[in-house]
Amino acid sequence: MDLLVNIDVPDLARAEAFYVAALGLRPTRRFGQGGVELSGLPVRLYLLEKPEGSIGAGDDIRRYRRHWTPVHMDVVVDDLDAALARALNAGATLEQPARTEVWGRIALLADPFGHGLCLIQFLNRGYDEVSTAA
């Protein structure tokens, strides 16, 4: 099996520029004018241009202002402060400043298209600090 992450965006060029600048990803394949594959994470990220107002899953209308969804990306970084500065400079919105937990540090962001995104820097034993065997 493999895992692919798809993100709908209203402006493919702007989204590509954001994810390249914010996360250091690189374009590896293009799919006509409507899609690009980005590499540099443990999974491939696909940006798919879909106009605002078009119909998405569940017959819901696509909108790109900030929205809540139970699915979002957590990007693990080595240096949260540097990654946060890079993401903000690329156009991310800081929603909750970095905070420290026993397992690590986390900052909550939104990309320019309303999608939630967290940056995480593990400390100590990471999630093993708070987990138990299943």
- 3-class SS letters over 109-123: EECCCCCEEEEEEEC
Structure confidence by residue, pLDDT tens digits, 46-101: 999 999 999 998 899 999 999 888 889 999 999 999 999 999 999 999 999 999 99
pTM for the model stands at: 0.92
Q: Between vectors from CA 90 to CA 2 and to CA 79, what angle results, nearest 5°? A: 70
**C-alpha–C-alpha distance, residues 51 and 93, integer Å:** 22
Secondary structure letter of residue 40 according to DSSP? S
Query: Which tokens is 110 given?
Result: 């939104």
Q: What is the mean pLDDT of residues 16-40?
A: 97
Coil vs helix vs strand at 106? strand
**C-alpha–C-alpha distance, residues 70 and 60, integer Å:** 15
Torsion angles phi and psi, residue 82, rounded to 5: -65, -45
Q: What pLDDT, on the 0 to 100 scale, is given for residue 106? A: 98
Confidence of residue 122 (pLDDT cuts 50, 70, 90): very high
Query: From the DSSP assignment, how many helices (H) and strands (E) are in the chain?
Result: 2, 8
